[in-house]
């Protein structure tokens, strides 16, 4: 069963097309991350799901119920959703328990108390039920906001950049908390973020957006290893695209020419101009054969010396990162071999053809 269905959703603000024919189907119980650069349309899509904005065209279903479409619009309070905001949105004069109970007044008192206790237990705050928001840490306030949404037992839980106000340590802790709660509740969650590390850490499905279009919908591994467009390849995982010539394609693998070398890699490009999508892990220094390159700069990062390279045979291509075991001075010459990558057609693929939940490439 599908939790959410988008059918050609569009939304325009003046001259800006914020949503450009977005179509997708999200299975029930999915943890979906909407990922993309600022202004890509991810928050606009979240607002459409929440009912905080109306589409200009298309249809939106929550479960089997059409909540937005021609002549139809269900208001937010009637959609059965929960939402966790970046700012927490807690009442400062209320206790933790009172904040969680807010919005449950339609329930009998006994049921309301049960819901509050269950929600507090799920987020590990049972001992702090009587505290006020100002007596809590940032991570604890975020858990209260999460508990408040869970107490309503929503059909879909929406998370609007909920970790933006937390430091790195608390973000990691909350990501683990989101994963745990998703596993325990089975609730469908939609998580908006511009941070791909957050998306990769929690989601079982990622929707990469750009200029109002859904460029790709797939598992974290799919969008990383099998990008559906050059934009996805460049945005996810410090990726780069290199212009190559595709010589042959057979059984999901492409024989390409890069500089003076011929290499066979996975891909979907037919013979002709193509893009080779690579990540830092796909490059390695070689002592013998390889593409000649020059080091533009080097810095220490995440336990490695990360060098920025420019290839002799690709002087017009932006620099590529290469992990090295030792510091390498600017201007150093070295050779690089490709250990992986994915080959795409040079022409952009139609975005609407990319919004598939399961995109596979023959072995």
Write down the H helix ranges in the chain.
42-50, 96-101, 109-122, 138-151, 168-185, 196-202, 220-225, 230-235
β-strands 272-278, 240-250 pairing: antiparallel
* Sign of the Cα pseudo-torsion (285, 289, 292, 294, in order): positive
Q: In this predicted model, which residue has the larger pLDDT, 7 or 350? A: 7
Q: Check whether 110 has a pLDDT greater than 70.
A: yes
Q: Check whether 48 has a pLDDT greater than 90.
A: yes
Neighbouring CB atoms inside 10 A of 32's CB total 26
Q: In this predicted model, which residue has the larger pLDDT, 316 or 27? A: 27
The position carrying tokens 């490059």 is 283
Tell whether 358 is covered by a domain: no
Q: Check whether 361 has a pLDDT greater than 60.
A: no
Q: Domains in the chain: how many in total? A: 2
CA distance 278 to 293: 16
Q: pLDDT tens for residues 297-343?
A: 989 987 888 889 998 888 777 788 888 888 889 999 999 988 899 99
pLDDT at 362: 29
Give me the mean pLDDT over the 19-33 stretch: 96
CA distance 21 to 37: 18
Write the DSSP symbol of residue 298: E
Q: In this predicted model, which residue has the larger pLDDT, 323 or 208? A: 208
Q: Domain check: are 22 and 91 in the same one? A: yes
CA distance 244 to 150: 50
Q: Domain check: are 215 and 259 in the same one? A: no
Q: pLDDT tens for residues 332-351?
A: 999 998 889 999 998 754 33
Q: What is the largest CA-CA distance in the chain?
A: 76
Q: Check whether 204 has a pLDDT greater than 90.
A: yes
Q: Domain check: are 176 and 200 in the same one? A: yes
Q: Domain check: are 213 and 330 in the same one? A: no
Structural Rg of the chain based on CA atoms: 24
Q: pLDDT tens for residues 242-300?
A: 999 999 999 999 999 987 789 999 999 999 999 999 998 899 998 888 889 999 998 99
* Of 104, 101, 90, nearest in space to 135 by CA: 90
In this structure, are residues 23 and 59 in contact, taking their beta carbons and an 8 Å threshold?
no
pLDDT at 351: 37
Tell whether 363 is covered by a domain: no
Tell whether 315 is covered by a domain: yes
Tell whether 361 is covered by a domain: no
Domain region containing 24:
2-225
Q: Domain check: are 211 and 251 in the same one? A: no
Categorize the per-residue pLDDT at 18 as very low, low, confident or very high, splitting at 50, 70 and 90. very high
Q: Mean of the per-residue pLDDT values for the chain? A: 88
């Amino acid at each position: 069963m599908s939790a959410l269905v988008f059918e050609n959703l569009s939304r325009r603000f003046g001259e800006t097309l914020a949503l450009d024919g977005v179509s997708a189907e999200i299975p029930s119980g999915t943890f979906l991350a909407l990922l993309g650069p600022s202004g890509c349309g991810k928050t606009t899509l979240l607002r459409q799901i929440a009912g905080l904005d109306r589409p200009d065209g298309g249809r939106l279903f929550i479960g089997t119920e059409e909540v937005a479409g021609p002549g139809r619009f269900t208001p937010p309070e009637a959609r059965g959703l929960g939402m966790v905001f970046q700012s927490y949105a807690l009442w400062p004069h209320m206790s933790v328990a009172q904040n969680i109970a807010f919005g449950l007044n339609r329930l009998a008192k006994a049921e309301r108390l049960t819901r509050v206790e269950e929600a507090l237990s799920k987020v590990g705050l049972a001992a702090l039920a009587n505290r006020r928001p100002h007596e809590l840490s940032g991570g604890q306030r975020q858990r209260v906001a999460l508990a408040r949404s869970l107490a309503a037992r929503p059909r879909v839980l929406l998370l609007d950049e909920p970790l933006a106000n937390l430091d790195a340590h608390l973000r990691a802790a909350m990501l683990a908390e989101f994963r745990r709660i998703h596993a325990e509740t089975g609730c469908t969650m939609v998580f908006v973020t511009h941070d791909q590390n957050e998306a990769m850490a929690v989601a079982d499905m990622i929707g990469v957006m750009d200029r109002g279009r859904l460029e790709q919908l797939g598992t974290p591994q799919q969008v990383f290893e099998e990008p559906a467009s050059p934009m996805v390849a460049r945005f996810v995982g410090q990726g780069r695209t290199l212009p190559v010539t595709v010589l042959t394609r057979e059984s999901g693998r492409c024989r390409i020419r890069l500089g003076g070398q011929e290499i066979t890699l996975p891909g979907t490009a037919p013979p002709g101009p193509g893009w080779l999508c690579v990540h830092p892990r796909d490059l390695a220094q070689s002592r013998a054969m390889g593409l000649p390159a020059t080091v533009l700069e080097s810095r220490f990062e995440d336990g490695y010396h990360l060098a920025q390279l420019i290839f002799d045979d690709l002087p017009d291509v932006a620099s590529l990162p290469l992990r090295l075991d030792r510091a390498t001075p600017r201007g150093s010459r070295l050779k690089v071999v490709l250990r992986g990558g994915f080959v795409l057609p040079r022409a952009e693929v139609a975005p609407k053809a990319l919004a598939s939940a399961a995109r596979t490439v023959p072995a």
